[in-house]
Amino acid sequence: MANGIIDPLRRADGVKVVDATLRDGGIVNNFYFPEGFAEALYAADVAAGVDVIEFGYKVSKKLFGRDGFGKWKFCGEDDIRAVVGGKDAAVKIAVMADVGRVDLREEMLPKSQSVIDIYRIAAYCSQIAEAAEMIEYAGKMGYFTTCNIMAISKNDISEVRAALETVARTPADVIYIVDSFGSLSPDDIKRLCDLYGEIAYKYGKKLGIHAHNNLQLAFANTLAAYGAGVEYLDATICGMGRGAGNCPLEALIGYLRNPRYSILPVLKFIRGHMMPLRESGVEWGYDVPYLLTGLENVHPYAAIDFLKAGRNDYAAFLGEIAESKKR
C-alpha cells in the first residue's frame, strides 16, 4: 500500500534477490527447457533488477552423461556465454556444485576466464569438511561463494552448530538456511536466523534463505528470514522447483516494493514462457502429497513417486510415510 500501514520501501538495505528458476526448476524437467527460454529469462531478470541468476549445476561428466539431461545440468562455459552475451555486470551469474557430484579441479576455470561469478556449494552437515575444501578452492580461484547446508530439519542443533562453525571459518561469503523438505515454519526460520547469525556474523558472513513450498510456507518463510536480517533471498518464477516448488519470485519482488526491482518484466515472462511450459505438461507446485512429506519432515521424492503413479489414497500414503520412518 503506497499510503497505508505497509512501508512501501520496507527494509531495503543489502537485499539480494536470487533467481533459481533454471537450477531448481530444472530438476522438474531434467533441465530440458524450450529453445530461447534461458535467453528470455536472463533478459527478464536484467530488466527486473534481479541481482543473481543461478543457471544450474556444475556436475562431473564422469558421473552424469549428457543423455537424459539438458545443458543446465552441466553449465558449460560456452552455453552460459551464448545466453548472456556481453553480460550485464549488474546481474551476477551463479552455479551450484554439490559435494560428491563434481571435482572442481576438473570443472572450474579461474574466475578471470569465466563468466560465472558465484559458486554455491551444497552439502549436508555430514559433508561439511568436503564442502569447506571446495569453498577454499573456489575462493582461491577468485569466486564469490556460498554454502547451502541442506536438510537441516533432520539434524540436531549441535550438528548444525558444528557445521556452521566449520563453514564460517572458510572464505564463504554467504551461508544459506535451506528448508530442503519444506517442513519449517516462520517461527523455525526466525530461530535458525538467530543461530546462524550468532556464528556467521562474528566471522563477517552474510546469510541467505532457500525455501520449499511443501506446507505452502516458502513465501512466508522467506519473508520471516528477510525480516530477521537475511540478505540473500532465493526464489523462482511461478515457484518452479522440485516437487512443491519454491518461493515465487514475482511475489517476492512485488512484496519488497523496492525501487530497484520491477515486476513487469517478470509478468511478461510468465505469460510468454511459464504458461506455455505448464501447458506443455511440465508439472510442479503444491499438492497434498507434498504437504504430507512436509508435515512428516521427509524427502519429497516419496510424494513425487506417489503422484507419478497416479495415486490419490492420501491416508494410505501417510501410513506408508510413518512406516518408513520406523525403519
pLDDT more than 90, % of the chain: 90
CA 281, 287, 293, 298 torsion-angle sign: positive
Residue 299's CB: how many other CB atoms inside 10 A?
Answer: 13
Identify which of 46, 51, 57 has the alpha carbon closest to the alpha carbon of residue 23: 57
The lowest-confidence range among 35-44, 86-95, 114-123 is 86-95
When the pLDDT of each residue in the chain is averaged and rounded to a whole number, the result is 94
Average pLDDT over residues 16-43: 98
Q: What is the pLDDT of residue 7?
A: 43
pLDDT band for position 11 (50/70/90)?
A: very low
Q: Which residue has the cell 547451502?
A: 148
Q: Which residue has the cell 519449517?
A: 184
Q: How far is CA 217 from CA 157, 222, 233, 257, 295, in A?
A: 22, 8, 14, 20, 12
Q: What is the pLDDT of residues 50-79, one digit of tens each?
A: 999 999 999 998 888 788 899 999 999 999
User: Phi/psi at 99 (nearest 5 deg)?
Assistant: -55, 135
Q: What angle do CA 253, 95, 265 make, to 5 degrees?
A: 30
* Integer Cα distance of 214 and 294 in angstroms: 5
Contact 288, 314 (CB under 8 A): yes
User: Phi/psi at 280 (nearest 5 deg)?
Assistant: -80, -10
Q: What is the pLDDT of residue 13?
A: 67
Q: What is the pLDDT of residue 6?
A: 41
Q: What is the pLDDT of residues 204-232, one digit of tens each?
A: 999 999 999 999 999 999 999 999 999 99
Residues 6+ apart with CB under 8 A from 49: 17, 90, 253, 260, 261, 262
Contact 147, 96 (CB under 8 A): no
User: Phi/psi at 323 (nearest 5 deg)?
Assistant: -65, -40
Q: What is the pLDDT of residues 78-99, one digit of tens each?
A: 999 999 998 877 899 999 999 9
Q: pTM here?
A: 0.94
| Whether residue 10 has pLDDT greater than 70 | no
* Integer Cα distance of 157 and 48 in angstroms: 38
Residue 65's CB: how many other CB atoms inside 10 A?
Answer: 9
